[in-house]
Amino acid sequence: MTARILSGKEFAARIKADAKAEAEKLREETGVMPGLAVVIVGEDPASQVYVRNKHKACEELGLHNVSVEMPETTTREELFAKIDELNADPKIHGILVQLPLPKALQSAEAEVLERIDPNKDVDGFHPVNVGRLSNGAGSLVPCTPAGCIRMLELADIPMDGAKAVVIGRSNIVGKPMFNLLLQHNATVTVAHSHTKNLAEITKQADILVAAVGKPGFVTADMVKPGAAVIDVGINRIAPKKLVGDVDFDGVSEVAGAITPVPGGVGLLTVAMLMQNVVTAAKLQLKK
């Protein structure tokens, strides 16, 4: 068996096309074009690449977008003041503070995320949005797990009644993935570093999500034949070589479907950010 490759490029294009059509309809009906502000503090090279990718996606969709670049020496108070300004700006519907913050601000990271208006929190990290997701009322959901769910829907991979295993319990991927799969009527197990007999658990999964940050962690002997395997990991093992949390070559001989790295889930994350900006604009128009 050779697995079906779930191309992030293909599914991201479909998600962005839907978001673009929704944004254009919103502008025609209300005169409002959804807008995103990305705040970057300092000069972390990887963060700068991520920010450029987000603005490029906004340009593709015709969304209003601004980049707020702040120096490494920015204080907590200065960053809060900038977020407050963006919260009050009616042209900005989504605010994203690029992480990681410089060392001097890292202790304030939770406060920074909470400072963003929950209705403009397009990362879905604000405690209000985390709570809304957990009780099934979430609209602004973390982009990576939301992208994985949308891909499963578009790929016609059934979640209803499926056994799903998520390896990893982070606030950014593992926990929201659990909630979203549960809302799609999957039976979900969350495994982590303290889980015993991990392979026995993962081999029961119809849908296996790997989000542990360890290169090649999931091997073929951990996968049920025919399972859908979603690799959220992005690990740099050489200057120009990225690999996922899944041993792609081995697992693709067993799985029914698999996402590659690169070219998989990472592209879905940016696409779902665009969808969240449009969703946020709609939420604010209802207020």
Q: Give yes or no: residues 198 and 85 share one domain.
A: no
Q: In terms of Cα–Cα distance, which of 165, 158, 117, 155 is closest to 264? A: 155
Q: Give yes or no: residues 104 and 196 share one domain.
A: no
282, part of any domain: no
152, part of any domain: yes
pLDDT score for 107: 94
Angstrom distance (rounded) from CA 46 to CA 104: 18
Q: Give yes or no: residues 83 and 157 share one domain.
A: no
Q: Give yes or no: residues 157 and 252 share one domain.
A: yes
Q: Give yes or no: residues 90 and 171 share one domain.
A: no
285, part of any domain: no
Q: Give yes or no: residues 38 and 112 share one domain.
A: yes
Select from 100, 117, 134 the last residue of a domain.
117
In the chain, the number of structural domains is: 2
182, part of any domain: yes
5, part of any domain: no
pTM over 0.75: yes
Please report, in range form, the residues annotated as the binding site: 168-170, 234
Q: Give yes or no: residues 152 and 220 share one domain.
A: yes
CA-CA-CA-CA torsion sign (227, 232, 234, 237): negative
Q: Give yes or no: residues 152 and 192 share one domain.
A: yes
Q: With contact defined as beta carbons under 8 Å apart, do 280 and 33 qualify?
A: no
Q: What angle do CA 110, 116, 118 make, to 5 degrees?
A: 105
221, part of any domain: yes
Angstrom distance (rounded) from CA 32 to CA 54: 20
Q: Give yes or no: residues 166 and 95 share one domain.
A: no
209, part of any domain: yes
Q: What is the CATH number of the domain that holds 218?
A: 3.40.50.720
Q: What is the CATH number of the domain that holds 94?
A: 3.40.50.10860
Please report, in range form, the residues annotated as the binding site for NADP(+): 168-170, 234
Tens-of-pLDDT digits for all 287 residues of the chain?
Answer: 689 999 999 999 999 999 999 999 999 999 999 999 999 999 888 888 889 999 999 999 999 999 999 999 999 999 999 999 999 999 999 999 999 999 999 999 999 999 999 999 999 999 999 999 999 987 899 999 999 999 999 999 999 999 999 999 999 999 999 999 999 999 999 999 999 999 999 999 999 999 999 999 999 999 999 999 999 998 888 888 889 999 999 999 999 999 999 999 999 999 999 999 999 999 999 87
Full strand arrangement of the beta sheet holding 64-70: 64-70, 35-41, 94-97
Q: Give yes or no: residues 166 and 109 share one domain.
A: no
130, part of any domain: no
Range(s) of the domain holding residue 102: 32-117
| Catalytic residue set | 54, 98, 123
pLDDT score for 218: 97
Q: Give yes or no: residues 151 and 109 share one domain.
A: no
Name the H helices within 220-260.
248-251
Q: Give yes or no: residues 110 and 160 share one domain.
A: no
